[in-house]
Every structure is written in structure tokens, then in C-alpha cells.
């Protein structure tokens, strides 16, 4: 995959993995646009990486998505790389009786439905340009569920299935679809996991870019490659490794 002189949109790009990727790509002569829910976080990200364009957008909100697509069509019609990175993760006790519909739908919409919808909405813009690419930040928990984050695991499993279908359908248009499986990364999402080895967001971004340049369709970082192998050989062992 070419990673210079491209126009890139990264969802959830104001911190963590998204911001690390944005910084690396902006440094390689790409026009990088990041979007996110929190305007203050977006402005802070822009202060750290001045070359970024920022757009406030909640990908689970129809009106926000419509405005984002209109903005990109007017200002950045050359968009040819979409990085679906937005995500949230919640530890939930399914037996508690206190989980609201909103908690469930927000996690599913952010981690799966919103990513599907933004991809389909932007597809005409992406394919108006040559060598369009779509990258999804998946999760090894979509392959092997972690029992204390059940909705997140289910949403990432659904996203993984969608990515495989999308890849086959868009091949005729010459669009490359990549799914990335991060190890545990040092981000705000994982800050409560204090006793676990973590990869820095910067090292993760470097690793991902290296593999994107090699045209990999699936990118496993850190321990996720071994987990994927264990899951094929012994799903019970893989589940034990994830859940202890």
C-alpha cells in the first residue's frame, strides 16, 4: 500500500492509536483528517500535530455523518484512505440486571455499526480516486472473546465478519481492505489494566505502517499472531490465554 501523498480520514483520531497513526502518516506527506466526538480533544491533538485537519463527528449519529461526508466531498474529494479506528470498551456483568439498552447500543454502534455505515457512505468518494484503501482496527477479542467485555467482543466479531465480506465484494473495484489486530496498547482505553504488559501506541503505529507497506490484508501485532494460531489449533487454549 502506498502511504505518501494520500488523503486520509482517521475516525477516533484524537488520542491513543488513532492519534499515533495520524502523526506517523502526517509526517509522510499525507493530508490527514481526524474526527472524534470531543472537540477539546481534537484541538489538543491538533496542537500536538499542527498539520492535522480536525472535524467533530460522532460516527453513531446520522446528522454528524451526513455533515462529515458533505465536508469531505467539498474540501477533500481526493480522500483515498479511510482508517476506521473509533472504539469504546466496557467491562460488563451480564447478570447484574443494570445494563441499559443505551449502554449496549452505544458500544455496538461505535465498534461495529458506525464503522460499517461510514465506510458505505464514503465508498463513492473513496472509489472516485485510484488505489482506494480501507483499514479497520479490529481486535483479537473478535476472534477469542474476553468474558468481562462481552459487548465489545461481540461487536468486534461482527466487524471481523463484515470486513471479510467487504474485502471480497470490493476486490472488483481494486479497493484494498485491511484489518489490524492490536496487542494491548497503552491508551486511555487500557489505563485501568495496570498489571498487564502493553505496547506503546507509537511502536504500534510504526508496526502497522511497516506491514501496510507490505500489502498485508490482516496485520497481527505483538501477541495477537500467536493467539490467532492457538485459536486455530485449540480454541479452548486460546480462550484460557485470554481469560486466565
Under the banding of pLDDT at 50, 70 and 90, the label for residue 198 is confident
Domain borders along the chain are 7-243
What is the reported pLDDT for 189? 63
Concerning whether 220 is annotated as a catalytic residue, the answer is no
Diameter of the chain measured on Cα atoms = 51
Return the pLDDT at 193.
Answer: 63
User: Architecture of domain 7-243 in CATH?
Assistant: 3-Layer(aba) Sandwich (3.40)
Q: How many whole angstroms separate alpha carbon 8 and alpha carbon 201?
A: 19
First to last CA, the chain: 37
Q: Which of 76, 147, 152, 220 is catalytic?
A: 152
Q: Which three cell numbers stand for residue 147?
A: 468474558
Nearest to 155 by CA among 166, 145, 165, 170: 145
What are the distances in angstroms from CA 17 to CA 149, 170, 214?
19, 26, 20
If you average pLDDT over every residue of the chain, what do you get? Answer: 93
The 10s digit of each residue's pLDDT in 29-38 is 999 999 999 9
Three-state secondary-structure class, residue 83: strand
Asked if 3 contacts 213 with a C-beta cutoff of 8 angstroms, the reply is yes
pLDDT in tens, 61-113: 999 999 999 999 999 999 999 999 999 999 999 999 999 999 999 999 999 99
Residue range 138-155, pLDDT digits in tens = 999 999 999 999 999 999
Q: Judge contact between 156 and 110, C-beta under 8 A.
A: no
Question: What pTM value is reported for the model?
Answer: 0.92
Amino acid at each position: 500500500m502506498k502511504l505518501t501523498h494520500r488523503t486520509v480520514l482517521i475516525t477516533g483520531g484524537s488520542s491513543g492509536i488513532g492519534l499515533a497513526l495520524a502523526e506517523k502518516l502526517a509526517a509522510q506527506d499525507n493530508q490527514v483528517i481526524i474526527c472524534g466526538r470531543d472537540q477539546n480533544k481534537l484541538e489538543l491533538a491538533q496542537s500536538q500535530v499542527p498539520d492535522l485537519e480536525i472535524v467533530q463527528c460522532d460516527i453513531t449519529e446520522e446528522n454528524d455523518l451526513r455533515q462529515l461526508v458533505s465536508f469531505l466531498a467539498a474540501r477533500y474529494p481526493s480522500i483515498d484512505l479511510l482508517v476506521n479506528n473509533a472504539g469504546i470498551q466496557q467491562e460488563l456483568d451480564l447478570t447484574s440486571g443494570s445494563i441499559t439498552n443505551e449502554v449496549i447500543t452505544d458500544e455496538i454502534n461505535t465498534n461495529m455499526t458506525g464503522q460499517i455505515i461510514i465506510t458505505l457512505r464514503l465508498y463513492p468518494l473513496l472509489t472516485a480516486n485510484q488505489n482506494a484503501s480501507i483499514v479497520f482496527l479490529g481486535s483479537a477479542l473478535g476472534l477469542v472473546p474476553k468474558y468481562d467485555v462481552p459487548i465489545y467482543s461481540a461487536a468486534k466479531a461482527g466487524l471481523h465478519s463484515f470486513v471479510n465480506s467487504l474485502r471480497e465484494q470490493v476486490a472488483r473495484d481494486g479497493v484494498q481492505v485491511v484489518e489490524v489486530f492490536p496487542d494491548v496498547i497503552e491508551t486511555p482505553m487500557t489505563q485501568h489494566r495496570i498489571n498487564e504488559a502493553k505496547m506503546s501506541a507509537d511502536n504500534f503505529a510504526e508496526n502497522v505502517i511497516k506491514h501496510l507497506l507490505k500489502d498485508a490484508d490482516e496485520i497481527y501485532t505483538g501477541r495477537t499472531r500467536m493467539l490467532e494460531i492457538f485459536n486455530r489449533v485449540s480454541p479452548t487454549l486460546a480462550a484460557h490465554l485470554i481469560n486466565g
